[in-house]
Structure 1
Amino acid sequence: MKEYLINTPVASIIFAFTIVTSLYTFSNQHLFGRFMLHPYSVSRGQRVYTLLTSGLIHRDWGHLLFNMLTFYFFGFALESILAGLSTWGHVQFALLYVLGLVLSDVRTVFKERSNPHYYSLGASGAISAVLFSFILFQPTTMLGIFFIIPMPAWLFAILYLGYCVWASKNARDSINHDAHFYGAVFGLLFTVLLYPGIIQHFIDQFM
């Protein structure tokens, strides 16, 4: 625990705080409702804080477990990478996560601005940003999709983005696929902005 706090303090705080907040709101429906993103209100200048708080709660145990496992495997690794590249690495990681969380929901707020019945929650947008930033640094890393199917990270990224686009238009579930897509795109763009040489690094991994 001490090693995590020293080497990856931002990821450690996000990880612990998200779990605690999610577990607490499982049994506190009032706070759960107040924390959920409500595009109808946000587009009218109300409950703007939910752009942040919606990323601190999750729908159920399965939702929380999946997101936190993904964050555990890639968030801590990414913060270590960034900290090794810059003295501002920890700050860069924090900005990536927070901005990824907020900006990934902008499309949703615009799309659902006239729907008072639409709500959204979860840290998936921010975690997608973290995952895709990591993929730029380590594109040939083998990922275990659903912890079973082996696949190189670069191929997963292509399939993931394609699925998000398809699901946003066709899926009839309660998942905010737009947040996944725009979070991933933000993660790529933000990383390239910080480290323009990452593009050549990405290409070199295949040479």
Structure 2
Amino acid sequence: MGNLNLVTIIIIAANVIISYKGFQDHAFFEKYKFNIGGIKRGQQFRIFTSGFLHVNPQHLLFNMITLYFFAWIVIRNIGETNFVIIYMVSLISGSLLSLAFHKDNYHYSAVGASGAVMGIVYSAILFEPQAMKIYGIIPGWLFGIGYLLYSIYGMKKQIGNIGHDAHFGGAVGGYVTTLILAPMLIETDLTMVLVLAIPIVVLFVMQKLGKI
């Protein structure tokens, strides 16, 4: 069960306030959402600001509940400052992967904290892969691998109106940043670190082979 830390409350509050502003103000939403055309015109701020906007209250609620359940694990293991670093890097890396995959589609748009949240989820799994149980049944490490493999499949098949690339990019950002900030994980649980890297290697190989 998660618990609320001050920094988690601040991030959730920022998402709620900015998202609700976007729900009520279409011009505001359009100005700050992730949009390839806008970014190509020099509006790089969209890479960051889009991570605090959501399509609807349900989208916002799902992301914030997920953050609530995983944030405290990261904070307990690495502290508030490093938690914020992982969150922000994951947000940006999710947007950057979306930019890389959709760079030629000037109309492509997206919003949501999913990339940042997936970075926190993957970080939490790195810290406590065995202790974490998704839905009380699925081991955290298995969920992490399965989710990213599904994201690769979703990216390839373009399944649904979901930013699979942002999810994947965020998870990669969380994974890499966590290992930089907590390199002892490589010594204490190298096997799990390598196992969790499998989807990342798969995506890299598929991209090099032109399969995605």
* Amino acid aligned to 1:79: I
Equivalents in 1 of 2:159, 2:151: separation in Å? 13
Q: Secondary structure at the match of 1:122?
A: coil
Structure 1 residues 1-207: aligned runs within 5 Å: 4=4, 8-44=5-41, 46-83=42-79, 90-140=80-130, 141-144=132-135, 150-202=137-189
Tell me by how many angstroms 1:203 deviates: 5.5
Q: Secondary structure at the match of 2:137?
A: strand
State TM-score, norm by structure 2: 0.82
Q: Is the 8 A contact 1:56 1:122 kept in 2?
A: yes
Matched residue pairs, number? Answer: 189
Q: Secondary structure at the match of 1:105?
A: helix
For structure 2, list consecutive stretches of 5 or more residues without a partner in the other structure.
Answer: 193-212
Tell me by how many angstroms 1:92 deviates: 1.2
Tell me by how many angstroms 1:173 deviates: 1.8
Q: Is the 8 A contact 2:118 2:167 kept in 1?
A: yes
Q: Secondary structure at the match of 2:66?
A: helix
* Amino acid aligned to 1:196: P
Q: Secondary structure at the match of 1:58?
A: coil
Tell me by how many angstroms 1:39 deviates: 1.7
Equivalents in 1 of 2:189, 2:169: separation in Å? 21
Tell me by how many angstroms 1:62 deviates: 1.6
Please provide the CA RMSD for this pair.
Answer: 1.9
Match of 1:87 in 2: none
Equivalents in 1 of 2:25, 2:188: separation in Å? 46
Equivalents in 2 of 1:41, 1:21: separation in Å? 19
* Amino acid aligned to 2:182: Y
